[in-house]
Amino acid sequence: MASATSSDTFPQMGSLGDVHMSAERRLPDSPVNPVMETRDLNVFYGDFHAVHDVNLAYGRHEITAMIGPSGCGKSTVLRCLNRMNDLVAGAHVEGGVLYHGQDIYEKNVDPIAVRTQIGMVFQKPNPFPKSIYDNIAYGPRVTGMKVDNMDDLVEEALRGAALWDEVKDKLKQSAYGLSGGQQQRLCIARTIATKPDVILMDEPCSALDPIATARVEDLMLELRNEYTIIVVTHNMQQAARVSDRTAFFTARPDETTGNRTGLLVEYDLTSTIFSNPNDKRTEDYISGRFG
């Protein structure tokens, strides 16, 4: 789907295979007024240094992809963004994660409040063992959101996740009766029902077949108009298809212990990363020479 103008702008596109760039837009080189930022972010699990000095800015209504080989710390960084790493015993964060300028790791910040603003969709679809309706209504209920009409909110969330037409006649049935792709879109609907600002997605399509993956990717592009999306993916084509900016991570073994610490190699517009990367390691990775 690469248009004529974009191939003019990025003449090297063809050299990396026919990667479709449907998400391509005109964007400034770096995010203006970023919604979230990490500042010298370091993450430790006990003594293990998992992530080293990550500085990233996530733009409003943009999709930011974080890619890299296994163990490069991309999921760890993602889980810091809504303090889900707090749940890992021994996890410890240094540096800052700013959300609209507020450091969410400051002492007086309530992680529960953070998570109502910054929602998360997981790798494996994880619907609750409840009805489709109750899956959606759960978030607003537990956070004490003021809801005039729950039925309307459920419909709105399901429409937002492009699932309404498929499930409108079986809202009271168990969510476990849905297919894997439908379950994942239900989880996205469940997240947007709490009206978050940012949606984090941790390899949202890795458990789905190609058709279900395409539907989730289409959905991400639609959601971009209202939400800021940060996605971790193993699938480089996916990053190229949906994301506006891409951050490439890699793992560096420690010289003495051999522990692999993740670090950010390069962060740029997706079109640049995939056509004209600055760093040799990025180029090697996206052209399939390693990882």
Partner 1 sequence: MSIAATTARETVQLATGRSRERSPGSLVFLGLLWFSLFFGVMVLVVLIADTAIAGAGRFDADLVTRYDSTLTPERTGFRAGILGSLWLMLFTALMAVPLGIAAAVYLEEFADSRRWYNRIIEVNLQNLAAVPSIVYGLLAVAVMALIGIERKGIVLGGAIALALLILPVIIITTREAVRAVPEEIRQGSLALGATTWQTTWRQVLPSAVPGIATGTILGLSRAIGEAAPLLMLGLASSVRFDPEGMMSPITALPIQIYGLSSSSQDAFQEAASAAIIVLLVMILGLNGLAIFIRNKFQRSW
CA distance 74 to 51: 8
38, 116, 228, 238: which one contacts partner 1 (CB under 8 A)? 116
Query: Of 190 and 245, which CB lies nearer to partner 1 in the complex structure?
Result: 190
Does position 204 interact with partner 1 (CB under 8 A)? The reply is: no
Q: Which residue, 28 or 129, has its beta carbon nearer to partner 1?
A: 129
Rank residues 67 and 137 by Cβ distance to partner 1 and give the closer one: 137
Contacting residue, 119, 160, 181, 204, with partner 1 by CB under 8 A: 119
DSSP-assigned letters across all residues of the chain: ---HHHHHH-TTGGGG-----TT-----SS-SS-SEEEEEEEEEETTEEEEEEEEEEE-TT-EEEEE-STTSSHHHHHHHTTTGGGGSTTEEEEEEEEETTEETTSTT--HHHHHHHEEEE-SS----SSBHHHHHHHHHHHHT---S-HHHHHHHHHHHTT-HHHHTT-TTSBGGGS-HHHHHHHHHHHHHHT--SEEEEESTTTTS-HHHHHHHHHHHHHHTTTSEEEEE-S-HHHHHHH-SEEEEEEEEE-TTT-PEEEEEEEEEEHHHHHHS-SSHHHHHHHTTS--
Nearest distance, CB of residue 210 and partner 1, angstroms: 23
- Residues with Cβ within 8 Å of 124's Cβ and at least 6 positions away in sequence, in order, are 207
Assess 120 for contact with partner 1 (CB under 8 A): yes
Q: Write down the least CB distance from residue 193 to partner 1, Å.
A: 8
Residues of this chain, 34-93, that bind partner 1 according to CB under 8 A: 82, 84, 87, 89
Q: How many residues bind partner 1 (CB under 8 A)?
A: 24
62: Cα separation from own chain's centroid: 11
**Footprint (CB under 8 A) of partner 1, residues 136-155:** 138-139, 142-143
Q: Which residue stretch of 126-134, 177-185, 226-234, 277-285 sits at the interface with partner 1 (rule: CB under 8 A)?
A: 126-134
Q: Which is nearer to partner 1, 118 or 236 (CB)?
A: 118
Restricted to residues 249-288, the positions that interact with partner 1 (CB under 8 A) are none
* Residue whose C-alpha is closest to residue 78's, from 109, 51, 107, 60: 51
| C-beta closer to partner 1: residue 34 or 119 | 119
Of residues 83 and 241, the one with the C-beta less far from partner 1? 83
Say if residues 242 and 220 touch (Cβ distance below 8 Å): yes
Closest approach of partner 1 to the CB of residue 101, in Å: 21
Binding segment for partner 1 (CB under 8 A), chosen from 2-10, 56-64, 185-193, 237-245, is 185-193
Site for partner 1 contains 194 (CB under 8 A): yes
Determine, following the binding rule CB under 8 A, whether residue 126 of this chain makes contact with partner 1.
yes
Q: What is the binding site for partner 1 (CB under 8 A)?
A: 82, 84, 87, 89, 112-113, 115-116, 119-120, 122, 124, 126-129, 138-139, 142-143, 187, 190-191, 194
